[in-house]
Structure formats: C-alpha cells, structure tokens
Chain A
Amino acid sequence: MTAIIEARNLTKTFGSTTAVDSVSFTIEENRIYGLLGRNGAGKTTIMQLLTGQDFATSGDVAVYGQSPVENAHVLQNISFIKESQKYPDAFQVRHVLASAPWFFTNWDQSFADTLLGEFRVPLKRDIKKLSRGQLSALGVIVGLASRAPITFFDEPYLGLDAVSRQLFYDRLLEDFAAHPRTVILSTHLIDEVSNLLEHVIVIDEGHIIIDSSADDLRGSAVTIVGKSVDVAAFVEGREVIHRDGIGGLSTVTITGQLSAADRQAATAAGLELAPVSLQQLIVRLSVLEDAATEGVLS
C-alpha cells in the first residue's frame, strides 16, 4: 500500500501552548482511519495542518509527496468538513449544493440529493436557521458527495442524533465500498465507529499514543475478574493498565493476547475473562499516559 500522507515531526504551538508535539505518522490510500482522542487532544489541529488550513510551527506534511499549503494540485483532491464550518452570510443550503460541483471534481449531485432527503435537510433554508443537527448533516452530506480522494470528517456528526449518526456510518461504508477513497474521521465516540475503522491513531495532549491497525488493537487486552488473590496471582508479571475492585473481588485489565493455555489456567483458577472494547482500551491507555506524564504511577 502506498503512503498518501506523511507527517514528520509535525509541531504546532499557539503562543505557549503546544497543541501538536512532534507528531509523525503515515496515511495509506483507500483506508478508513480513525483519529481518536479526547476533546482538545489536538485532532482538529492535526487535520488543519494536513489540509493546509493552518501552518505548522515546525516539521512537515507531505500529501502526495507535496506540501498541501496553497497547493491547488493537492487541495483539489481533499475535502475537509469541520465541525464548526462557517458559511457565507445569507447562504442557503441550495447555494452550498449549487457551488460544490465547481470545486469538487467528483461531486455526485444525485447522491447529495438523496442524502439531503434522508437527513431531512431543507434545500431552501438559510444556513443560519438550521438546527445543530441539520448543520452537521449538511457538513456530512458535502463530505460524502464530494467523493474527494482524501476526505476528512472532523466530528461533523456531533450534532446528529443516534439515528442520523447510524445513517452516516451506513452511507459512508456503502459509498466507501463502491467508490474507495481515503477517509480520515476524528471522533471521541469510539465504540460507535470502531467497526468502520481499519486503522486507529490515538492522540493525547498533542502526542500519538497509539498508531495501529484496528484488528491488532482488538483483542490486545483482556480484563480478568475474580477473587483478588487469584487475580493478583494470574496477572503477576504482566502489564497492567487498569485496576478496580470491590470487597474481595478485583477487576484487572492487562495487555497481551492470552494463549489457550492461559485461558485454561484462568478458568481453572475460577477467574472470568471479559473483553475490552476499543473505547475502554483507549481510555485506559490515555489515562495511563496522562499519569505517566505527570510523574505519578498508578
């Protein structure tokens, strides 16, 4: 697979705050990437740096091997719909859809029209009068219908209710299957999208703490539940990422795949093995990361 975006030691500071701290990663074409992290972790900033909407303080970004900044040859292939996208004063929904084809070569009008109906966004309404959900839906519709070879979605579905979000995920998958493109989706609703993602990049306070295929992550941790003594004995020598307990019971999450022998040993010891969802895993690892940065080990 070929690298379509490369970030090398990418850094962005705003005054004394470092929003993105020497971050390096690669994006390969025609996959769905999840850019995950808490609010304020740096996801939007990274996306703005990748699309030339903001300028890096240091380090570089290469999209198709070139800098995206002020580069029409690269930008023609990108669609970046922000959660807080501004629209021109007095614009109506129909103006957005009328002008989109001039800037997105692969724009599919009938797809856009279908989506407008499904998300219930009225064509003749002022953008200023749209509800939060309709505004998010419009952003999603433009991103989907643009069929841009590199499409970013920066939490544009936050204003959408659960039904609309599911509709977005469904349409995204459908369209991705029929017309493959590189999709980069940022969110903090990890469990909802975990099945869509092929690769996961997790940002925490401007650093990348996870950069791995979703499948590798899934099943890379397990939670052991049982009597505290027994659990402690079992997790001896393993990497613990979370502990919890009540009374004489413990719940401990460890990393690493358990072999069949391990599983048998656990069952024999009267321990229960519980799965760790992608969201739980990422939360645990983020918390650990924060604690480590603060110099306190849990």
Chain B
Amino acid sequence: MGGIEERLRDPWHAAQAGDGGAYASCLHELAGMLRGYYRRRLTRWPDDVEDLVQETLIAVHNQRHTYDARQPLTAWVHAIAKYKFVDLVRRRAGREALNDPIDDDTALFARSDHDAADAKRDLVKLLATLPDRHRRPIECVKIQGLSVAETAKLTGMSESAVKVGIHRGLKALSELIRRQP
C-alpha cells in the first residue's frame, strides 16, 4: 500500500497543478486498482465492472478539488470507490435481491487489474444527449484536443463559458450515468 501511495504522490500533485500527462498516468494506475477492486466485489454483475470503473474515474475527476494534500490519496480514492459501489448496489437493490454483503473488507489497493473488459455503456452516446453548451466544449477540448481559446472561437462561446461548460457537462454526464438502471 505504501508503495502505491509513494508512487502516485508526486504525479498526483503535478496533476493538481495542471499537468495532463501526470494526470493521465495517475488515472491509468487508479483504473487498474479500481478494476481489481470492483471485479472482486461485483461477482454478481461482472459485466458492470468496466462501467463502474469509468463512472468512478469521472467522479475522481469531478471531485478532484475535494482531495486534501494532507490526506493519503489512497484513502480519498478508496472512499470514492466505495461510495460509487454502494450507490450501484442501491440502484440495483430495487430490482434484484441483495445477496452480496456490502461491508467493505476488500482492500482497494490489494491487486491491480489492467485487463480492461469492454464497457457496456457508451459514454459517447450519453454525451450526445447533453445540451450543446455542455456537449460542444467537451467534444472540442476533451475529445478533439483543441485549446479553450480555439474552442471559444469555433463555438462563439466565451472562454469562461467553455470552461464552465466542460465542468458542468462532466457533472451532468455523471448525473446521467447515475440515473441509468
């Protein structure tokens, strides 16, 4: 556990300062851990693992301002992962009887799993249902890799509207995911 904490600390702090490369490598590492964690816990719904990994990565991204530099990153990610797991179980509990215990005895950082299955849910399709003011900034900046300034010029939005659109759009995306069965 100490090893992962040590390994992620510097890139994570660089990511908080805006270093996209460091951020991508942190997310990649976290994705492996989350996949291992959810695979061990979602034994009833193995097909949902990759969807939940993606949902949790979006949550980590949307909530990264709630990370306190004084706390262990692993504790922060673990709390988010557990919250998203319980949320999924609650969503499912309405339709299916609950047999798996949800007490949290599985360690998030016990074993990583970088063998990604395919996600069932297509985020691109979900993204398409967002209103233009959210969808276009996300498509231009996040997917096509344009700068905020270029996106502003292309869409006729102001630069701050582009930034706000990305931020609110990713939150709306996460909301859409939660509302899905």
> Do these two chains interact?
no
Enumerate chain A interface residues (CB-CB to B < 8 A): none
